[in-house]
Structure formats: C-alpha cells, structure tokens
Amino acid sequence: MSQRVRGVIAREKGKPVEVATIVVPDPGPGEAVVKIQACGVCHTDLHYREGGINDEFPFLLGHEAAGVVEAVGAGVTDVAPGDFVVLNWRAVCGNCRACHKGKPWYCFATHNAAQRMTLEDGTELSPALGIGAFVEKTLVHAGQCTKVDPSARAAAVGLLGCGVMAGIGAAINTGGVTRGDSVAVIGCGGVGDGAVAGAALAGATTIIAIDTDDRKLEWARGFGATHTINAREHDVVEKVRELTGGFGADVVVEAVGRPETYRQAFYARDLAGTVVLVGVPTPEMTIELPLLDVFGRGGALKSSWYGDCLPTRDFPLLTELYRQGRLDLDAFVTEEIALDEVEQAFAKMHTGDVLRSVVIF
C-alpha cells in the first residue's frame, strides 16, 4: 500500500517552496522506503528551486539525510527494516568501467529508485539528487542507503550525505592531504569547513582558511584552521605564500566555484602542488590561464565529485570518528528547524548566518 506523507516541493522556478502531501509507493525490486529523521538544507536544494540544475519541476527537495529503513523491496540484502542509514546520491553500480577498474567512487552508472513519488493528483516528482528527503518518508534505491552506528545523532551524521562529505573527501580523497602538508581552503561554508576538518584529520600542519566573512573564518578555526585570510583585506596568493615559507600550499581546495577564486587557487599552490575544485560553477563560467603556467607549475588540477567518496567505506568510518569525538559534526549544525521552515532557511543562506539548517522530523 502506498503512503501519504508531508514533504517540501518546488513547484515552479524561483517560487517559494511549499509543504504538500506526497504519495510514496511501496518499494519495488532493489528499492527501500526510509523514514527520515533529519535532513540538512543544502545550497544544491536552492539551485533546484532556482532551476539551476534542470527544469524537471516539480521537485521534491532535500538530499542530505539520515533515517531508519522502514521497508525494502525484492532482492535487497544489504539493508533491512530497522537499519539506521545515511542516504547517498551515488549508488555504485559495480559493473561500469570505473567499477571494473577498482575505482567505484568514480562510478559512471550510479542509479536511483525506478519508481517515482507523486503528488496526490498523480503528478510525478523529481527527487533532488535522486533522493528527495524533505519528507517524512522517501523512496530510494537500496544502494543509496549506507548503514552507520545507530547511536550517532541523525542531524549530524546526515550531513555526510552531501556537503560535509564533499569537503572532507576533497581534502583527503581527491587532494591526498597527508601529515605535514600545508593546505589552503577558499570558501568556508559547509563544504569548505568540511575540507578544513578533513585536512586536520589527515595531519596537515598548516591549514589556511580563506573567505570574505570574518564569522565564517572564525567557524573555520573551530574545525582546525591554523590561519585565516579575509580576501577583502589581503591579496590571497601573496598571503598564502607568506604563510607557507614563500612557496604556496601543497594542496588548495577551491570550495566556491568561481573563475576568480579558481585562479587564486591555481597560483596559491606550491610548485607540483594540487588544486582541487569542489565548488560547483554555473554553466556560463569560463577561465583562461597561460598554458605555460599550467605546464611550468606542474602538479595536478583536479575536480572532486562528492569528495570522491565511497559511501560504504567513508560513512561508517567518519561516523565512528564522530562518535570518538575526533570529528565534530555537531558544529556544522547551526540550527534545527521544522519542515515548514525550509524557505526561511534558504534566506539565511544568502546572509551567511548558518553553516547548516537541519530539518528534524
């Protein structure tokens, strides 16, 4: 029997979101219904509302979530009813060329639930990132459910489902940060602070946080930044070099996704250093760099997809570090809100007042 639950939808481009009744079907083969306990409000959800991802309205928003599996469909063996899970938006297929090469974090054939959730009138919904978790219960592919320790706080570990994992993974998985490294992070929102925290976990000794907002720079210090730079007051490249013996950082994580900050990242790294782009650009953005500088500076220019994470490997590990007090996921949760406060949470993003608003069910 299908279920009717409350959820947040974006019905039209640029219009305020609304709470509506969502019809959730029983799980089919390979699918699971998850009772959501907490879901973070991510910038990607706002991009969906603004039509920045695609125009497949109406959208069921929300994707950064944790909850309990309520029911599973035929053939599901990795999770069972009662399991506490963090949802992920890259369910690995196991059969594509990336998976066969032993690099499943690059999986080129990730998948979602085959069925669609709908409005009461039968209108099909497009779930944000294949999840749609601003809802009391959601339907996902079972591969999008990763079991973690059930004693963990849902509001905290749910953030591993997107932004925090993207940042931690950008530093550790993509950037390869290791002990003794110098790291600069440009942009200190949820993703950037995740990169700061990841660099600290990996043993970096110099961690430079860069932003235009002093509040965000102070938050970054709480996650492990050893130095901060206000980009409105200093030349970023010169200041990073000054803080790294004149050389530049071993790894620079660009968590903004703009040409001007990417250029800063490119020139703020040491020779043979690494630039990691984890900030998401818009389609019209371009960048021009002297090809001789690209060649002459060596190193690597990388993009980080979801922190190049493998949920089955990374989510349980990071949850355990959180439980041990070694990764302060609670500090990313600025406020806990109700389902009907998502629109107000979007407004707070523009003013920089929050790292994460988290919907609690």
Within a domain: residue 322? Answer: no
pTM of the model: 0.96
pLDDT at 283 over 90: no
Helix (H, G, I), strand (E, B) or coil at 206: strand
pLDDT at position 7 is 98
Q: Does one domain contain both 39 and 147? A: yes
Q: Which one, of 317, 315, 311, 276, lies nearest residue 105 by Cα?
A: 311
pLDDT at position 163 is 95
Q: Does one domain contain both 139 and 187? A: no
| Averaged pLDDT, 314-323 | 98
Neighbours of 108 (CB within 10 A): 9
DSSP-assigned beta bridge partners for residue 126:
59
Q: Does one domain contain both 274 and 354? A: no
| Averaged pLDDT, 120-138 | 97
Domain closes at, from 288, 304, 320: 304
Q: Does one domain contain both 180 and 143? A: no
Q: Does one domain contain both 251 and 344? A: no
> What is the separation, in whole angstroms, between the first and last Cα of the chain?
22
Q: Which one, of 91, 139, 101, 99, lies nearest residue 118 by Cα?
A: 139
pLDDT at position 1 is 84
The domain total for the chain is 2
Q: Does one domain contain both 83 and 208? A: no
pLDDT digit string, tens, across residues 85-113: 999 998 999 999 999 999 999 999 998 99
Reading phi first (left if > 0) and then psi (alpha if -120 to 50, else beta), residue 33 is in beta
- Average confidence score pLDDT of the chain: 97
Q: Does one domain contain both 119 and 202? A: no
Q: Does one domain contain both 46 and 72? A: yes
Within a domain: residue 147? Answer: yes
Q: Does one domain contain both 154 and 182? A: no
Within a domain: residue 221? Answer: yes
Within a domain: residue 317? Answer: no
Within a domain: residue 98? Answer: yes
Please name the helix (run of DSSP H) or strand (run of DSSP E) that holds residue 182, with its range, or none.
strand 182-186
CATH of the domain at 27: 3.90.180.10
Cβ 274 vs Cβ 298: under 8 Å? no
pLDDT at position 199 is 98
Within a domain: residue 319? Answer: no
Q: At what angle do helices 259-268 and 236-243 cross, to 10 degrees?
A: 30
pLDDT at position 306 is 95
Within a domain: residue 44? Answer: yes
pLDDT at 327 over 90: yes
30 band by pLDDT with thresholds 50, 70 and 90: very high
Q: Which one, of 315, 335, 312, lies nearest residue 327 by Cα?
A: 315
Q: Which one, of 44, 12, 37, 16, lies nearest residue 87 by Cα?
A: 37
352 band by pLDDT with thresholds 50, 70 and 90: confident
pLDDT at position 136 is 98
Neighbours of 145 (CB within 10 A): 24
pLDDT at 60 over 90: yes
Q: Which one, of 92, 94, 160, lies nearest residue 315 by Cα?
A: 160
| Averaged pLDDT, 313-339 | 98
pLDDT at position 350 is 82
Within a domain: residue 316? Answer: no
With pLDDT > 70 as the criterion, what percentage of the chain qualifies?
100
pLDDT at 313 over 90: yes
CA distance 8 to 248: 45
CATH of the domain at 216: 3.40.50.720
| Averaged pLDDT, 73-95 | 96
Q: Does one domain contain both 69 and 145? A: yes
Q: Does one domain contain both 351 and 278? A: no
CA distance 162 to 355: 13
pLDDT digit string, tens, across residues 209-256: 999 999 999 999 999 999 999 999 999 999 999 999 999 999 999 999
Q: Does one domain contain both 179 and 252? A: yes
Which one-letter amino acid corresponds to residue 144? Q
pLDDT at 351 over 90: no
pLDDT digit string, tens, across residues 145-204: 999 999 999 999 999 999 999 999 999 999 999 999 999 999 999 999 999 999 999 999
Compute φ and ψ for 328, nearest 5 degrees.
-85, 80
pLDDT at position 52 is 87
User: Residue 184 belongs to what domain range?
Assistant: 167-304
